[in-house]
Structure 1
Amino acid sequence: MGVAASLTEAKPDEKAVRKEESALHALSAYLKEDMEACNRAIVARMQSPVPLIPQLGAHLVAAGGKRLRPLLTLASARLCGYQPSPEHQRHVALAACVEFIHTATLLHDDVVDESTLRRGLASANAVFGNKASVLVGDFLFARSFQLMTADGSLRVMAILSAASATIAEGEVLQMATQNDLSTPIEKYLEVIHGKTAALFAAACRVGAVVAERPEAEEQALEDYGTNLGMAFQLVDDALDYAADQQILGKTVGDDMREGKITLPVLAACRAGNEEDRAFWQRVIETGEQTDADLPHALELIARTGAIQTTLERATQYAEAAIAALSIFPESEIKTLLVETASYTVSRAH
């Protein structure tokens, strides 16, 4: 089922939805051996003589997660025909590196956002405190750079270190736009490119680098990752106002409580009447919120079609991600990457 088709159906066929939802599981199954090796590398690199580090690491591992970013590195390497030796599996080590970068940013984000849930469980900062979360996040960043150094490729280090800097810039830019309803949509897209899409892009590109593929294939995979990451974050922002809390894995309405500027809010505010805009100014710009505000916000977002607007934009990015793969010959792994892009949007239904 195409991405666009999945958005236009009011009641999508259950079998089709299950097929889309199984796309990520299929990708994981296809890369099972590589992912198991990656998970072993992650656990091994989380070890430390300082007890709190492996304890907090065990909490993160127990929380699970899709491991989408390391999967993208492994899948990209496979798509490009990378042939590892038993002694030297660069794609596995770099997939673990990508996950460490991602996890470090999550630890720091949860402290900044004062989040209490992550993937449906108590967040690390809620269990271990803010200081431990920040410091273990620093440890994981350091581990990621050790893995980059061990790989020995300056090109890989340039790609992943640049992505790390861009993530930090994206988070700072998000903080700068917080509580500001005048934020242009283009600035919001710049934020999500920094905080999410940049690492997706880097994760994909290094797969082509380890396979020593030409620049055109590197760029195609970077484009795939960028567009996939944009779609992924747009859907996440939509889910914050549309999902069941147990499905979402975090508290519904967190973005509103934190005054975050996301496309659902921008779309609802701009499509609403004067009374609606006054409501958004109160809850987002001044931060004056009551228990009744979240239900009203959800009502306004539904009435103005803001979720649909957000998902339509996500669909455009998902379709661009799929188009970027056209340079590669047909294969099972290519099909799985295409289906992963479709899944990214369909998970909002």
Structure 2
Amino acid sequence: MSSVRTAVWGRAEQQDFRSRVRGCLLGGAIGDALGAGVAADTLGAIRDAHGAEGLADFAPRYGRRGAVTDETQLTLFTVDGLIRAQVRRDTGAWHPPTDVHRAYRRWAATQREWGPDERRAEDGWLAREEWLYTRRDPERASLNGLADDRMGTLDQPKNPRNKGHGALVRSAPFGLLVGWDTQLVFQLAVECAAQTHGHPTAFLSAGAFAVTVHALGRGADLEQAVQQALALVSGRPGHEETAAALTAAVDAVRQGPPSASRVESLGEGRTAEEVLAIGVHCALVAEDVRHGLLLSVNHGGASDATGSVCGNLLGALHGETALPPGWLAEVEGRPTILALADDFAMEMTQGPALHGPAVSSPGWLTRYPRS
């Protein structure tokens, strides 16, 4: 494809890209884990439990501190699907939505099976990570949309009335395809969102989020990135709720100092556009990553989702070294996330050296089978 980058990357460029990929995936996981402990609480309940300033650190959830939810699980499988799509290009099969859908089906298997089946070598390495075989309150739309092998499309989406945030929160990795044309990134994100969340607000919010991450990965500042997303989403049918939410997120920046009440004015964080608005707003006003993440989870909505979105954005903007080290050390699944982030960065910058018509790395094809 002419819209996909094939140029050789310089060393400094590769290092910057890897840092942003790591930052995006780890930042999202940290925000998810921070919010998970208070996701079912009102702001009043959060302050009663954690003090007047609200939550300031990981709260125990799922039997431990730093535990992630289905948001992080699905984000990792998005990355896996995108790598597999690149590897499968060697066979002449080039349809990334299909490969991402297959990856989501592998995630769905982790929600119903006791553990990995070592006999299924075609599943690749991520699906053999035992810690992923646990339910972390997945959205019903995600489970139902992936319950059979029919892939939802924009013409025939799964759950066409569902505006939940389940597709939005797994869509940051599409934006990490920084060598791709922006329109193609947007289209891929919305097509893959429609596999489980068929309402235009749900899949357009996912597309807008991916485009925002994409712009950050190309060096834009956050407000420029949001404006690019707004311009792109506003040309699509059914864009009104998504565009209004992004506009409100930007406008709220100029209404005074950041506060929980201003965050809650953007919605309850239950639907896709509300989660997007809160995550974007908190990233825009963040003094640093810690400040932005705490603001994004101290409200009475889906704090895990809004924390995840904010963390993805701030991590992509600033890179991994900006993440709070204490949280980074404790977040669940860090070795897996780091390995997957580095694999993604290596595939996107050095893919031809890993697999191709002339030579292929056996180890790489074991990790990411073509089948």
Q: Tell me if TM exceeds 0.5.
A: no
TM interval, shorter chain, is 0.3 to 0.5
Q: TM-score when scaled to structure 1?
A: 0.32
Identify the structure with bigger relative contact order (alpha carbons < 8 Å, sequence gap 6+).
2
Please state which structure has a larger fraction of its residues in helix. Answer: 1
Q: TM-score when scaled to structure 2?
A: 0.31
